[in-house]
Structure 1
Amino acid sequence: MRQIPVLKPAYDQEEIDAVAEVLSSGWVGLGPKTMEFEEAFADYIGCDYAIALNSGTAALHLAACALQLKADDEVIVTPITFVSTVHAIGYVGATPVFGDVEPDTLNLDVQDVEKKITAKTKAVFCVHYAGHPCDMDALHKLCDAKGIYLVEDAAHACGAEYKGVKIGSISELTCFSFHAVKNLACGEGGAITCNSDWFARYFREMRWLGITKDTFSRTVNEKVYAWQYWVDKLGFKCHMHDISAAIGLVQLRKLEKNNAKRRQIVQRYQDAFADLDWLERPVEKEYAKSSWHLYVVKVPNGQIRDRLIRHLKEHNIAPGVHYYPINLHPYYKNIKAEVPVANQIWKRIISLPLFPDLTNDDQERVIQAIYDFMP
């Protein structure tokens, strides 16, 4: 029996042809396809600028750099996230302060965030968990009142909307991931969206070692001194390249269709599990249109969750757990974290297979396996 993965990219001949075109062009680094992708993605999101990078982690890191976060600064962040969100805070020497999460969406609890703001708090990094937008009005109201920055981690939320507006066009800085299994999958990649000329210029220089002009711009725009550039920042090497961008352009054209497929799959799960009193289905709040990156259900306790994982694996179905709280990892265990919801709810969560190419027959296998389980 073939294994059903929990996540999988949706590629076909279009992506293969797009990569072949770039390889044949002779320019595979940061170049015209990356610029084309940036313009197309910004247009889709509804923002002025999208700066393409090699990962969502790099996007978060550069956002922290741009805000000049430093030692002794505090940044409030969810513990229910991939470790990149929190590592980016540490990269600049700042201290993560873990905010608790809402028990239904697993997004940051705004009331708990407010309790944890101190004189040292400089920013909040919110994560749109599983593709469901956070309560952005409440977060903006709080951060504006306290004079602190708000950065969105939209790694899960490509195509998601808050009150009818695309995630990525709402806040000053929004960070995206285009990792291999994200809704828009470039293999590896990321981006920061913004509406500021200054931020856009800063990110373009910082992604390319602080160099004022990238190689393609110097090659195309300069007549004589194509070799000349200046370094005025201690930057990093984290730009996107044209191979990833070519894949991204195809994926972007398919994004709405693929997200609609995700929504159909989710609705089938929701209908199928409606009568199971031991399984709590994910919610979608009135203000949100989720991108449904993950389908995360909750069971009564950790013992049942672990038994269910074993049961699904025995049926050649690969579930996931998103995530083990960051505050419980060895590296972060010495940081005090008062997050009672997060510390308990992670034991109850399990991600079921969700990706655009999940067939009806394979989804039926998952549904039947859940029904065959004895909690």
Structure 2
Amino acid sequence: MIALEASVEDHGGVAAQVLVLGGGFGGLFSAVAVSRWLRGRARVVLVDRNDFFLFTPLLYDVVTGRLRPHHVARPLRRLLSRSVEFVQAGVEEVDLYQHRVRTDRGPLSYDFLVLALGSVPNFYGVPGAEEHALRFKWLPDALRLRQCVLDRVTRGPGEAVRVVVVGAGCTGVELSVGLHDWVRRLGRARLSVLEAMPQLLCPMDPRLMRATVRALRSRDIEVRLGTVVEEVRAEAVVVRSGGARELVPADLVVWTAGVQANPLVRQLPVELGPGGRVLVTSTLQLPSFPEVLSLGDVAACPDQAGVYLPATAQVAVQQAAAAARALVALVEGRTPQAFRYRRKGEVLGLGRMGAVAEAFGVRLVGLPAWLVASLVHLVRLPDWGDRAAVAWEWAKDAVGLGRPASREDEP
């Protein structure tokens, strides 16, 4: 039993208890904001299985060694204000009718609930994918991928290591370029990127996407669009392209083909949208449970045109601020305002000193785009200490003084 199970009336007269499930972009930023805006009027508790916040946009830099794990995994207790209580526990069940959450450390009660439980890889039922493909979602995935590459590349002279990346969204593209540039310093490798759709799945101007394809192919990275993965085997991938089946040899298969909402939400008595995400109103509330808000990868939230927003950090951060404002309104007995997503642009890293970027209608390629992309990531990092440390590592790498790409240099 966790001590927080006591009713809100027992908490020094605090009017409301706000429980935030998930310590990612949506959960962390909403908890910090609502605790600041409702200081003294609500008790804010954040629950997560891990005791750290993971800055996922830079996870590929951990694989390549440009950054160390502590640069992207920051202690939650350090990032949360003193007015937010942190409980490290795994969420097992959410009872929306009784306002109770069961965790592996005991039950918790709430007056208002924020569902920010994130997502998991989506293998789309492809045979062998879950068993043979490497995930690229969490910090242990990045460390495992780095170790697997090191094990194969540094075995000694021989044939090039064959790496197949499934999924040509932003994650797959950035990871492919990073792997190529890193492995080139270690040994030989052949990289292929497979994508079922006829174009890259990065929400950017088509001209920037064509520039991205050229950047990939200039590195001899094979880009195969319109190629459907039908099966993943221990040392190969079975694909279908143009009606023909083909066996693509692979020493390593990395799965970046998409995500789905945390399976926990399937237990809830609510309607689910694409990717198993919870359908929410324009104010991020659950239609039948207005005291519950959902955001980030676990929420199916349409934009002004009725198109569901993507599961990105940019969306989650904006929703976090909107959710915090909605909670303030609910505590004060007011009607929350509708959430309006404002797309600020997209950035896509393409290795050292390279990127494409689009912001407010301006398109950039190369060094200017890389500077913009670096600035965007630095601004999104949660505190100034992290920004300074990451900027220093990038500066050393830019002038060739980064970490050596050797087997001894393991995470």
Shared fold (TM-score, shorter chain, > 0.5): no
In the superposition, the TM-score normalised over structure 1's length comes to 0.30
User: Quick check: which one's helix share is greater?
Assistant: 1
Higher strand residue share: 2
Q: Could you say which structure has the larger radius of gyration? A: 2
